[in-house]
Amino acid sequence: GPGQAEMYAGLQELGVANGEDLKETLTNCTEPLKAIEQFQTENGVLLPSLQYALPFLDLHGTPRLEFHQSVFDELREKLLERVSAIALEGKVEERYKKLEDLLEKSFSLVKMPSIQPVVMCVMKHLPKVPEKKLKLVMADKDLYKACAVEVKRQIWQDNQALFGDEVSPLLKQYILEKENILFSNDISFLQNFFSQSPKTRRQGEVVQKLTQMIGKNVKLYDMVLQFLRTLFLRTRNVHYCTLRAELLMSLHDLEISDICTVDPCHKFTWCLDACIREKFVDNKRARELQGFLDGVKKGQEQVLGDLSMILCDPFAINTLALSTIRHLQDLVGQDTLPRESPDLLLLLRMLSLGQGAWDMIDSQVFKEPKMEAELITRFLPLLMSFVVDDHTFTVDQKLPSEEKGPIPYPSTIPEAFTKFLQENRIACEIGLYYILHITKQRNKNAFLRLLPALGRFLSHLLFYGCLPHI
């Protein structure tokens, strides 16, 4: 068929006889057997010692095709090894010259199944495949499919749409996997959502595939980030923020400095990743994170958009909120007000940045959201007073009965507290984590007292798909 003709067409260009030549020879000759013999001699493996070996193989009933095939396979293996070796030897500026010549010679045979692996191997080892060859590969579905990822990267970096087609199903798969865990009815699954270590999460299939597709190519990395920003903007789905952080940290694990050194979020993400692993922001790391935030230079405020996405990752928010509750408890023990704790203020600042990620990217106004003073001067002290109530009640319960005070556990909550939950996203977040904290402690009194406020969370919860599952 036409496919066959196309497959062997390249041989003529190289001066190698193909089926057409044999047909031609046999059509125009008087003694076909002699012609065949001559054709075999001219086009066979030219080794003098073979003249005696071939008849011997014939006697054993080994077909000539099988013999030639095995010689061919052997030579191809040797050639593939040699190509990989050439790519590493000689002076850097001359290193790829031989391979470019080899590609020039062999490319016309790229459609021949037996030769194709060699051509593909040569291209794989060339850091820059000639534009014309890339275009030919791109235009042919089967060739494109057969290409090594190293060659595809060279095609993708100038074809955002094609790269988008390759990445899109992976991103869909990632979101589906997250939602399957979150919306599953298996309780153990839900408890495990936040319990997996960041390093384990990055071993997931999608993150690994994307990391492989990007390699060390900064342009492709930037394209993926652009896809993630756009999708986050379009869907408000916070799992794209998780993927943004996981992808960067996966490249960090592989020590791909080409990319890590140019991503201005790298050090911040690396430090935050360590906090997520420990589920706590300690003082030393708090200082580091603050240093990165304070270090955003004039004219580079756009970095805040990416940092806010990294802070909007549910795993980051979970860590910041848990740390906030722990800090509030410590402050009660130290008789210190929230406004006097720089670490607590930093946690709020980061929560605020994370919560404001969507608005910032949507408005393209890159400045930190303004923190409501009342959150620090009124809401948090109210929450601390609840913690004090808990402590007082617990201590009181342990006293011998004659020393017990007549104080029942307070059953009402100030209206101001409920109003904060309704109107302030950060207050809502922290309030919710406080309720989760008392639930884990099996503190029935505190839970019943806060129960009426729970309704206020519902509208907020719809915005964050993850929170019910902490």
Q: CB 464: neighbour CB atoms within 10 A? A: 18
CB 304 within 8 A of CB 327: no
How large is the greatest C-alpha to C-alpha distance in the chain, in angstroms? Answer: 128
Alpha carbons 250 and 272: distance in angstroms, whole number: 14
Same domain? For 17 and 91 the reply is: no
Query: Does residue 13 form part of some domain?
Result: yes
CB 292 within 8 A of CB 270: no
Query: Does residue 17 form part of some domain?
Result: yes
**Of 261, 260, 168, the residue nearest 213 (C-alpha):** 168
* Token pair 């399957």: residue: 180
Which of residues 153, 168, 200 is at a domain's end? 153
CB 336 within 8 A of CB 345: no
Same domain? For 90 and 107 the reply is: yes
Which of residues 104, 137, 153 is at a domain's end? 153
Same domain? For 99 and 21 the reply is: no
pLDDT at 405: 66
pLDDT at 465: 43
Query: Does residue 395 form part of some domain?
Result: no
CB 417 within 8 A of CB 379: yes
| Phi/psi at 120 (5° precision) | -65, -40
pLDDT at 384: 94
Alpha carbons 317 and 45: distance in angstroms, whole number: 69
Same domain? For 32 and 52 the reply is: no
Query: Does residue 280 form part of some domain?
Result: no
Alpha carbons 103 and 18: distance in angstroms, whole number: 20
Same domain? For 15 and 114 the reply is: no
Mention every residue, 6+ apart, whose C-beta is less than 8 A from residue 168: 227
pLDDT at 470: 40
| Phi/psi at 237 (5° precision) | -80, 115
Same domain? For 15 and 98 the reply is: no
Query: Does residue 96 form part of some domain?
Result: yes
Plot region of 350 (φ>0 → left; ψ -120 to 50 → alpha; else → beta): alpha
Query: Does residue 66 form part of some domain?
Result: yes
Mean pLDDT by 10 residues, the chain (470 residues): 57 63 72 72 65 72 74 80 82 82 87 88 92 93 94 96 96 93 64 83 96 97 97 96 98 96 96 96 95 91 95 95 94 92 95 95 93 93 90 78 72 86 88 86 83 66 45
Mention every residue, 6+ apart, whose C-beta is less than 8 A from residue 33: none
Instruction: Please give the tally of structural domains in the chain.
Output: 2
pLDDT at 246: 98
Query: Does residue 162 form part of some domain?
Result: no
Same domain? For 31 and 105 the reply is: no
Same domain? For 109 and 76 the reply is: yes
Give the number of C-alpha atoms closer than 13 A to the C-alpha of residue 14, restricted to the C-beta side: 16
Same domain? For 3 and 101 the reply is: no
pLDDT at 318: 92
Query: Does residue 366 form part of some domain?
Result: no
Which of residues 97, 132, 153 is at a domain's end? 153
Instruction: Give me the domain span that covers residue 9.
Output: 1-38
Same domain? For 48 and 89 the reply is: yes
Structure token digits, residue 96: 């790829």
pLDDT at 208: 97
Q: What's the predicted TM-score (pTM) here?
A: 0.83
Alpha carbons 243 and 304: distance in angstroms, whole number: 17
